[in-house]
Amino acid sequence: MDISKRAEQINMILEDHLPKPPYSQGSIEDAMNYSVMSGGKRLRGIMLLEAFRLYNSDKDLEKNLAWPFAASMEFIHAYSLVHDDLPSMDNDMYRRGKLTTHAKYGHAMGVLTGDALLNYAFETMTQAASKLSKVRGEIAAELALRACRAMSVISQKAGFSGMIGGQVMDVCPQSPEEEPVSGKTVNTPASADRSDLTGHIFKIYELKTSRLFQAAMCAGAILAGADDSQIDALNDAGYFIGEAFQIRDDILDATATFEQLGKDIGSDEKNNKNTIAHLLGIEKAQQLVGEYLDKARAIFNEQPGNKEFFNELIDFLRLREN
């Protein structure tokens, strides 16, 4: 099953978990569905499921526990994009070739839709955890602990010390010496320029982008019952993938077309935003993408189970065009 087939599976899971018409709250549920189902690679949901599958082959447990968590990762990602597109943030009118949520429904509904999706993600996860006795009553307590731990990891990595903290650093520039958010940073490739400014940007990427990839893979491993060393390994791999993903985004913003990306291009330049691609140049930035992904591949290849998907993912991310 390739990445596109896996994305189709995530779309099916999303449709199963999203509010269904007739909507009791009308426009907000419509906007939630629009925001989530407007396309996307579904990488975070896919990666959660694949991390689960590295350590656990129980299909029943996957469907009843990992699937709702995979859907929730996509809800969180969708909420972050809805808010990122707002006029007070990046002020983007198009995403994936369609109007952004605030452009279609209005600014207030854009804010509320993002809020609703974030809350709905945790509603979905807690409902799944509450039904665990129907999956395996004899070990429901153990599974509930896994679910709680996975939710804790997701909330932390998506919160003020993770993704939101990165967004704050991105939209409220300050000197690198005043960085407000701390946390473990995995060593970057030796060839990376670690001057104050580039180091500051790498930190933004770590928080704003890598943390959700880390959340997805760590949560999947936790739900599967992986041990702490395995969870830590996937956390490191998520860091490397996130940095590579964001740098590749920088490159595409500078070199791609609207038709390729389905959104306005050159937004970094328009917003006077420093990026690694701008500071180091396209060629150096692409070299870093490869080095980060090689580090992630090495980690995956040390894990048990079938690593075919993760090797396929690394190849896809290296030269993705949208």
CB neighbour list of residue 307: distance below 8 Å, 6 or more residues apart = 54, 300, 301
Read off the CATH number of the domain in which 123 is found: 1.10.600.10
Q: What is the DSSP letter of 90?
A: T
Q: Which domain holds residue 142?
A: 3-318
- Rounded CA gap, 157 and 214, in Å? 8
Q: Produce one character per residue of 264-293: b if its CB has 16 or more CB atoms within 10 Å, e if not.
A: ebeebeeeebebbbbebeeeebbbbbebbb
Domains of the chain: total = 1
- The reply to whether the predicted model has a pTM over 0.85 is yes
Distance CA 236, CA 230 (A): 10
pLDDT by residue for the chain (322 residues), tens only, comes to: 588 899 999 999 999 999 998 888 889 999 999 999 998 999 999 999 999 999 999 999 999 999 999 999 999 999 999 999 999 988 899 998 899 999 999 999 999 999 999 999 999 999 999 888 666 655 788 899 999 999 999 999 999 999 999 999 988 866 555 454 444 556 556 555 556 788 889 999 999 999 999 999 999 999 999 999 999 999 999 999 999 999 999 999 888 665 655 555 656 655 567 889 888 999 999 999 999 999 999 999 999 988 999 999 999 999 888 7
Angle between the N-to-C axes of helices 228-255 and 43-55, in degrees from 0 to 180, rounded to the nearest 10 = 150
